[in-house]
Amino acid sequence: MSAPKYLYIDDENGPSEISTLNGFNDLKLIEVERFPLADFKEFGKLKLELASRAKEIAFNGLILDLRLDGTGEDRTEFNATSLAQELRSVAARGEIPTFPIVLCSTEEKIKDTYSSDKTSHDLFDYKISKSNPKPNWQKLSLKLSSLADGYQWLNSEKLNLAQIFGIEDINKLDQRIIEATFSFSALYDSAHFVIKNFFHQTNPLINEKILAARLGVDLAVTPVDDWNKLLDSLFKGAKYSGLFSDGWQRWWADVIVNIFAEISGERLSFLNAADRVKILQQKSGLDSLTAAKPLKFCNSTEFWSICEGFKVPVDPLEAFKIATSFGLKPWQESKYISLLAILEREGYTDRGLRPSPTELENIEYTKELLGI
């Protein structure tokens, strides 16, 4: 089976753009071909060309620079947002297959244009930063390959929600999630919902670091092989297996809680990290599992989330909610940042982390209590 093919559209052809092409193509997990933008600078002409190629399945996805109207030799009079919007509309009408669209630009351009235009966020499935000096091409390639395969699956079969989400009984989901899917009118709606609501947020799925926090395990100390053995032996039934699951490892939060209760007779959230890990050691035979310890300025090990600054376990009662530019869905949980990360401004510059304005008074009160 051939690797999924992406067309890369950029108005510049400097070291960053060449590095992007080589970074992907060297691994051969996906094929990235430079699109000759110089031959299609007119919006209508470019749209028709891409639509024609999409009908022929000549590519499986697009990688777009945000500012096609930038300063490069092949600059246009439009940007990636307007192109993506038109292609999404054409696909929604059933004129072409739907496919993943990935944003690839510098952090400066993303912050100046993309971040301030919230309406454009729904157009792109993933974004890649050209500013990263050491991109993880393996991770990026796996995600883009998963996106291409997932869209192909959506295009080729008429799927119900249970198949898309990878569960046997859709009624086991929070009914509010099911209600949110009633407005789906195009294939892209399913893809967008899974990526934005399942992968980017906490609940109903959780990522590996939050999973480790809830199990009380210190990933930095526990051997990787033994951690994987634990997941495969005891928590395999909680692994997400739906759309894009080969690019994003996630676990069903409620199933993790249920499995732990079944094997231990205990409620996971009522135990501290040491007690959770002791049970896991007994049930798995993996003595190398190591309990996580609290960050500086924290005392509790009843971990349920992570500090987004340091990406380590934290008890939400000893941390502070992070500011978001959007409202959380009723079934989603807030993300948190620790006092240590706030004081050291960890993640403030490169990831834009900020405590919620509603937490500022609590932060000052906590600092006073600690004499900071």
Q: Which helix (H) or strand (E) holds 325?
A: none
Sort strands 336-337 and 31-34 into parallel, antiparallel or unpaired. unpaired
Given pLDDT bands bounded at 50, 70 and 90, which one contains residue 116?
Answer: low
Percent of the residues in the chain that have a pLDDT greater than 70, as a whole number: 96
End-of-domain residue from the set 268, 293, 318? 293
Across residues 135-144, what is the average pLDDT? 97
Q: Are residues 240 and 267 in the same domain?
A: yes
Q: Is the pLDDT of residue 279 over 80?
A: yes
Residue 77: band (very low, low, confident or very high) from pLDDT cuts 50, 70, 90: confident
**What pLDDT sits at residue 219?**
98
Domain that holds residue 338: 294-372
Same domain membership, residue 264 and residue 184: yes
Find, among 351, 270, 255, the residue nearest to 315 by Cα.
Answer: 270
Q: Among 136, 154, 172, where does a domain finish?
A: 154
Is residue 269 domain-shared with residue 248, that is, in the same domain?
yes
Domain co-membership, 200 together with 252: yes
Q: Token pair of 278, please?
A: 């002791």
* pTM summary value: 0.93
Return the pLDDT at 159: 87
User: Do 139 and 169 sit in the same domain of this protein?
Assistant: no
Q: Stretch 213-229: mean pLDDT, rounded?
A: 98
Let me know whether 144 and 10 are in one domain.
yes
Same domain, 18 and 118: yes
Q: What is the mean pLDDT of the chain?
A: 93
Mean local confidence (pLDDT), 51-80? 90
Quick one: which of 220, 252, 226, 229 has its CA closest to 239? 252
Higher pLDDT, 14 or 142: 142
pLDDT of res. 183: 81
**115 has pLDDT over 60:** no
CATH number at residue 17: 3.40.50.2300
Which of the residue ranges 12-16, 21-25, 59-63, 228-232 would you say has the lowest mean pLDDT?
12-16
Say if residue 107 is in the same domain as residue 175: no
Please state the rounded mean pLDDT for residues 338-360. 92
135 and 36 belong to one structural domain = yes
- Of the three residues 270, 293, 316, the one that is the final residue of a domain is 293
> Which backbone phi and psi does 332 adopt, to 5 degrees?
-95, 155
Do 146 and 9 share a structural domain?
A: yes
Indicate the Cα dihedral angle 94, 76, 70, 37, nearest 10°. 70
Q: Is-contact 315 303, C-beta < 8 A?
A: yes
Band (pLDDT 50/70/90 cuts) for residue 117 is: low
High-pLDDT (> 90) share of the chain, %: 80
Shared-domain flag, residues 267 and 298: no
pLDDT digits (tens, 9 = 90+) for 22-44: 999 999 999 999 999 999 989 99
Do residue 281 and residue 338 come from a single domain?
no
Task: Count the domains in the chain.
Answer: 3
Give 155-188 pLDDT, tens digit per residue.
998 888 999 999 998 888 999 999 988 888 888 9
